[in-house]
Structure 1
Amino acid sequence: MEREKIVWIVLVLIIIFLVWKTLKELITPIVYGIAATYIVYPFYNRIRNKVGNPWAKFIISGIVTGFSILFLLGVTLWITDALKNLYIYLDSFFSWLGALRVPQALSAVFDAMATSFPEKLRDLLLKYTLSIPKLALQLIVFLAVFYATLSNADFLAEEIYSLLPSTNRRLGEKLIEKVKETVDAILKTWLFFSIMKGMFLAIGFYIFGLSNVAGAIAAGILCAILELLPVVGGWIMWVVGAIILWHRSPLLAILFSLYGITTISPLPDYTIKPKLTKHRAKVSSVVALVGIFGGIMAFGAVGIILGPIAIGLLFALIDAWKEIERPKRLSKAHHSQDV
């Protein structure tokens, strides 16, 4: 009996190892495909109620496929140059950031980012320059996972809940809810809002003649990164752009400032963001910051999702442990009072 158990354990470990080796290079598109399904699922439900299931899948899949192809073309044509410009922007930004007087904890975070981000950008630059066919393959996997997950979303949700153990089912449900809260707060609100501001800034930089396409994309990426930081924000980018334009034409500088105030900051922060976060759990900006940037440093691009989820799960486990220990402490307190 023991020998049979050992054989089965070895067989399971071999299968897990083979699966890991098979999927290791495709973890990023798989995770992003599942995350994209979770993000668009509410829109898919609304469309499905109006036009039916087949047409809803066709419309949503078509939109996601179109954006994915545009992304691949952007990587092929512009992102390489954009990353070079972003590297220059970040180097200047971190030099300026290092001169600020901030708390020691934030200073340590900024120093770590200043060290790690240039290295990550260098890796990304080489990856996208030399591995366009690999990126195209990952894009195909992303679309396949997205379509399969979207088609079987209800079934997969039921399966996940059915796999929860009966003894600690409440803890499992709490962990799933924590993942949902984190993904909602990070992806649907924080990252989405930051990316939209970055897109508007990139459009503004190009329209007002502040930079070419590659430089505008780089400025937009940097704006999205700055929006994730708790102390500074994307408004720095449009202020810098307005200062540059002021030396060329004060009228253009004023128009660009109005554009920045309306589309980047602070107007959207007081009008649109409260509506996005109204019915969602709030995640601490420091926790989200550490989760996103720590995840990127540890896992690469997929760390944008895995990092915050990991920290969210840790807090869920701590809360569950507190709930388990609270009755024990109360019973001990009552017992000591009786004594």
Structure 2
Amino acid sequence: MNSKEYDILSRLFMVFSFFALIYMLWPFMGIIALAVAVAYMTKPLYDILKPKFGRTYGAIICLLGIVIPSLLLVVLVAEDVVTFLLSLDIENIITKVTPILNDIGYLRVDGPDVSKPFSDIWSVSKPLLNSFASQISSIPSLLMKLLFLSFMTFYFLKDGDKLTDSFLIYVPDDKKRNTALFLSEIHKALKTLFIGNAVTSVIVGIISIIGYWLIGIPNPITLGALSGILNILPVVGGWTIYVPLTVYYLLTGEIAKGILLGLFGIIFLSLAPDFAIRPRVISKDGDLHPALVLIAFLIGPLVLGIPGLAIGPIIVATVYAIHKVRRLIEKKNN
């Protein structure tokens, strides 16, 4: 075997190994993407802890203090809420509540006029809830995924800055500069998207605490903190606290409180975070257009499910980085 034949075989072997690795990891791509998202959101804390405790212990403290408790809390609360919502007879509730609202003057519409749009919304939402419930109902599989997610987050925090250098080893010398620029722009975009998402959840938590306190909801601090943590999950997280509470107050006869809580939740905990707060926070910290933020955090989960919460922003960040690097190269050439 001569040198040329050896080079061809070695390259074929490298390509085969790469695609074999992708094939093996493909079922876990969603978990890996979520680990990337969690690592970016906890990186500000890790950067504070690293000088004092080192890489390893700083990452462990982030995991044990924030990541694992938050993940378990999100899963447990989401499972209870989804189970509760799936057990509801929405049409029956609307049929019972609408005459009461008409009698006391809140509405002046017929029952069918109210029930049809709610039924349409429910018919779209229920398959998503069923899919979500099926994913969190398998406890052994769920624990295995959470364990894998925790380990991947740990290594992304500890060694994430080494990934670029490891990747650039396989890039030709004449392409390294542009490739490094491309990877740097992806890193900046992901940092802006995911840290902005974490900041949004803090803002929503504060708004929730104030709103629940003003409305007179018991334990406003606890429920507000839960609302903030769950709002890290765009689309899914916004309604997980206020919707069950609204239904409870309506069914127990506290109509005014139920309607006030429902309106507050829809406006400030569902619509405002996804369409106003998150795009504004993220676009303020970087030059990402608000429309790209909406696509990243809304379209991704709707199309790809729970993994889309992380895959959507990663795809948007990659496309954005390609566009920005292209513009920088053209600007330099001109």
The Cα shift of 1:182 comes to: 2.5
| Structure 2 counterparts to residues 200-215 of structure 1, below 5 A | 201=208, 204=212, 208=217
The Cα shift of 1:73 comes to: 3.9
SS in 1 for 2:180: helix
Task: Name the structure 1 match of 2:314.
Answer: 309
Task: Name the structure 2 match of 1:248.
Answer: 254
SS in 1 for 2:286: coil
The Cα shift of 1:138 comes to: 0.6
8 A contact 1:194–1:224 mirrored in 2: no
The Cα shift of 1:59 comes to: 2.2
Task: Name the structure 2 match of 1:18.
Answer: 20
| Structure 2 counterparts to residues 76-95 of structure 1, below 5 A | 78-81=80-83, 84=86, 95=117
| Structure 2 counterparts to residues 119-268 of structure 1, below 5 A | 119-129=127-137, 131-156=138-163, 158-160=165-167, 165-190=172-197, 192-194=199-201, 197=204, 201=208, 204=212, 208=217, 224-225=234-235, 248=254
SS in 2 for 1:208: coil
- Alpha-carbon distance in structure 1 between the residues aligned to 2:272 and 2:75: 32
In 2 relative to 1, CA 207–94 (structure 1 residues): closer, same or farther, beyond 3 Å? farther
8 A contact 1:197–1:224 mirrored in 2: no
In 2 relative to 1, CA 85–20 (structure 1 residues): closer, same or farther, beyond 3 Å? farther
8 A contact 1:44–1:60 mirrored in 2: yes
Deviations 1:235-268 (A, max 9, x none): x98xx89x969x7376x5799699879x859999
Letter in 2 for 1:21: Y
Letter in 2 for 1:38: Y
| TM-score relative to the length of structure 1 | 0.61
8 A contact 1:57–1:151 mirrored in 2: yes
Stretches of structure 1 that go unaligned for 5 or more consecutive residues are 99-112, 331-339
Letter in 1 for 2:318: L
- Alpha-carbon distance in structure 1 between the residues aligned to 2:89 and 2:10: 51
Pairing 1:67–2:89 present: no
8 A contact 2:283–2:290 mirrored in 1: no
Q: CA RMSD in A?
A: 5.4
Deviations 1:297-324 (A, max 9, x none): 5543222222233233323323433444
Letter in 2 for 1:30: I
- Alpha-carbon distance in structure 2 between the residues aligned to 1:168 and 1:289: 33
Identity of aligned residues (%): 18
The Cα shift of 1:33 comes to: 2.0
- Alpha-carbon distance in structure 1 between the residues aligned to 2:208 and 2:115: 17
- Alpha-carbon distance in structure 1 between the residues aligned to 2:298 and 2:282: 22
- Alpha-carbon distance in structure 1 between the residues aligned to 2:237 and 2:69: 27
Equivalent pairs counted in the alignment come to 294
Stretches of structure 2 that go unaligned for 5 or more consecutive residues are 92-113
The Cα shift of 1:292 comes to: 3.0
Pairing 1:296–2:298 present: no
Deviations 1:184-238 (A, max 9, x none): 33221146515863797599499827xxx9xx98xx769952999xxxx99x98x
| TM-score relative to the length of structure 2 | 0.62
SS in 1 for 2:143: helix
- Alpha-carbon distance in structure 1 between the residues aligned to 2:89 and 2:6: 57
Letter in 2 for 1:66: P
Letter in 1 for 2:157: L
Task: Name the structure 2 match of 1:43.
Answer: 45
